[in-house]
Amino acid sequence: MLYALCFLLFMIGLYCAITKKNMVKIVIGIMVMEYAVNLFLIMLGYRTNGIAPIIGKGDLNPETGQVLSSFINGSVDPLPQALVLTSIVISLGSLALMISLCIRIYGKYRTFDITKIRRLRG
C-alpha cells in the first residue's frame, strides 16, 4: 500500500513535468519524481521493527569482536541508503543547472511560458 502511494507521488510529478507549460513547474515536477524514487528505494530495504545500520557496543560479541547475528537479522539494508545518498546530492547539482537555465531564459524572453520561447531571437 505504501508502495502504491509512492507510485502515486511519482505519477503526480510525471503529470506535472509533462503537461505544465511553466518552466519552473516542470522543474518542480522533476523534483517530486526524484523524491518519490528515493523514497521507494529506501522502502525496498526496510524491515519491520528494523534498526539503523549502525553498530553499537551491544551488537558486538564481547569475546571475539564479531557482529552478533541479531544485528545482521534486524538491520535495514545499507546498500540502497548509500546509493540514495549519492542520488540526493546529484539531484541538487541537476537542480542548480536547471534553475540557472530557467533564469537565463527568463532574462532573454521575460517569460517562463515555454510556448512563447519558440521563436529564436539573436
Partner 1 sequence: MLILYVLMLFMIIAAVIAVETRNLLSAVICVGSIGFVGSLMFLFLCAPDIAITQIVVEVLGLIILIRATISRDLTFISGDKEFFGVVVSIVLIAVIFLAGMKVLDTLPAFGTAIFTQVPDAASQVYLSEGLQRTGAANIVTSVILDFRAYDTLGEATVLFTSILGASAILRKKSRRRLG
For partner 1, the binding residues in 2-61 under the rule CB under 8 A are 2-16, 18-22, 24-25, 27-29, 31-32, 35, 38-39, 42-48, 50-56, 60
Q: Residue 71 or residue 120: which is nearer to partner 1 going by CB?
A: 71
Cell output for 82: 548509500
Decide if residue 108 touches partner 1 (CB under 8 A). no
Question: In this chain, which of 58, 110, 120, 121 binds partner 1, going by CB under 8 A?
Answer: 110
d(CA 121, CA 66): 68
Q: Residue 54 or residue 120: which is nearer to partner 1 going by CB?
A: 54
Cell output for 72: 545482521
Under DSSP, the state recorded for 69 is H
Using CB under 8 A, which residues numbered 88 to 107 contact partner 1?
88-97, 99-104, 106
* Residues paired with residue 51 on neighbouring β-strands, in sequence order: 75
* Residues paired with residue 60 on neighbouring β-strands, in sequence order: 67
Decide if residue 78 touches partner 1 (CB under 8 A). yes
